[in-house]
Amino acid sequence: MDTSYTDRHWQSADGLTLHFREYGAANDRPPVICLHGLTRNARDFDSLAPHIAGQGWQVLVPSIRGRGDSDYSEDPASYNVGTYALDILALLDAERIDSFVSIGTSMGGLITLMIAATQPQRVAGTLLNDVGPVLETAGLDAIKSYIGQGRSFSTWMHAARALEDVHGAAFPNFGTEDWIVMAKRTLTLCNNGRIAFDYDMKIAEPILAADEAAVPPDLWPAFDVLAEKPLALLRGELSQLLSEQAFAEMQRRAPQAICATVPSVGHAPTLDEPEARAIIDRLLALIA
């Protein structure tokens, strides 16, 4: 599999230089844009993006502001889903993209819902990965318990064990190598030789201040927009963020959606699981 990509950049409305990876080349299909979760970055799709590009799709994988190789914002208040959606729309405009297929994990799914609410014509199809219009308090509280703590580690093994301490219940079948892979996607080697989380700790400030800052109000109308187009819904069986009840309601409101549950996984599936790959391939087949 060709895993090569080009590092590229675009500008936000408030002057940040934001980074994205480009796999494959533009063609007559809408590009696939992979949008990561709250504390993650473009490396989350190291395996998935080449898989999709290998099927003839152009794939763009941004690191949202404050993460990975994208600039940090001087204003922590800009770390919100509305601003992230505007940043992605700026990317679409810069690349002259009329519409795109979104693969959105957690926060990435919320960004997609916000775009659907404001510019629905830009979304050609969607995978929502363990996220929906209703998020559970238990899941949000779990995120608040670890975000923004600024820890660092001396080795990748120490970093992996720290991730296992926090997320072990969500990935009970992970082995040591799986945790090291997650660590290398989530953390980065700093100039001082320490290994630290690859995001601006200030992204936590709006989330810790109020639930409303983290989760936009009433996203069901935006979900209904997505339901009119090719849509795939994925949930981790052990998820604390997306309940079985909310997932069932999403399926009721989107009866044509492709749906799957990843067994023995919590928030959020990595999209490297066979169930996830199958549902993504089925979604893309509806759009190709």
Going along the chain from its start, the domains and CATH numbers come out as 6-146+203-287 (3.40.50.1820)
Q: What is the pLDDT of residue 216?
A: 54
Mean pLDDT of 131-148: 88
Task: Give pLDDT tens digits for 32-74.
Answer: 999 999 999 999 999 999 999 999 999 999 999 999 999 999 9
Mean pLDDT of 216-223: 86
Q: What is the pLDDT of residue 77?
A: 95
- Of the listed ranges 6-10, 74-78, 206-210, the least confidently predicted one is 206-210
Q: Work out the mean pLDDT of the chain and round it to a whole number.
A: 95
Q: b/e per residue, 21-41, with b = 16+ CB within 10 A?
A: bbbbeeeebbbbbbbbbbbbb
Amino acid at 76: P
Mean pLDDT of 80-101: 97
- Alpha-carbon distance of 208 to 103, in angstroms, equals 26
- Of the listed ranges 71-80, 131-140, 149-158, 265-274, the least confidently predicted one is 131-140
267 pLDDT above the threshold of 70:
yes
3 or 162, higher pLDDT: 162
Helices 107-118 and 220-227: crossing angle, nearest 10°? 80
Amino acid at 267: H
- Alpha-carbon distance of 14 to 5, in angstroms, equals 27
Q: What is the DSSP letter of 8?
A: E
Query: What is the token pair recorded at 77?
Result: 């208040």
140 pLDDT above the threshold of 70:
yes
Q: How large is the C-alpha radius of gyration of the chain?
A: 18
- Alpha-carbon distance of 24 to 27, in angstroms, equals 9
Give the dihedral sign, CA 22/25/26/28: negative
Mean pLDDT of 83-96: 98
Q: What is the pLDDT of residue 210?
A: 66
90 or 146, higher pLDDT: 90
Q: What is the pLDDT of residue 256?
A: 97
Phi, psi of 156 (to 5 degrees): -65, -30
List Cα–Cα distances, 197 to 1, 26, 147, 148, 226, in angstroms: 29, 32, 10, 9, 33
- Of the listed ranges 139-148, 206-215, 256-265, the least confidently predicted one is 206-215
211 pLDDT above the threshold of 70:
no
Mean pLDDT of 22-40: 97
Phi, psi of 63 (to 5 degrees): -100, 120
Grade residue 218 by pLDDT with cuts at 50, 70 and 90: confident
The owner of tokens 């209904």 is 224
Mean pLDDT of 123-139: 94
98 pLDDT above the threshold of 90:
yes
The owner of tokens 């629905």 is 120
Phi, psi of 152 (to 5 degrees): -140, 165
H-helix or E-strand spanning residue 32: strand 32-35
Burial class for 137, CB neighbours closer than 10 Å (0-12, 13-18, 19+)? exposed
Query: What is the token pair recorded at 117?
Result: 């609410």
Measured torsion, CA atoms of residues 114, 9, 13, 123, in degrees rounded to the nearest 10: -20
Mean pLDDT of 257-264: 98
Mean pLDDT of 229-246: 97
Grade residue 207 by pLDDT with cuts at 50, 70 and 90: confident
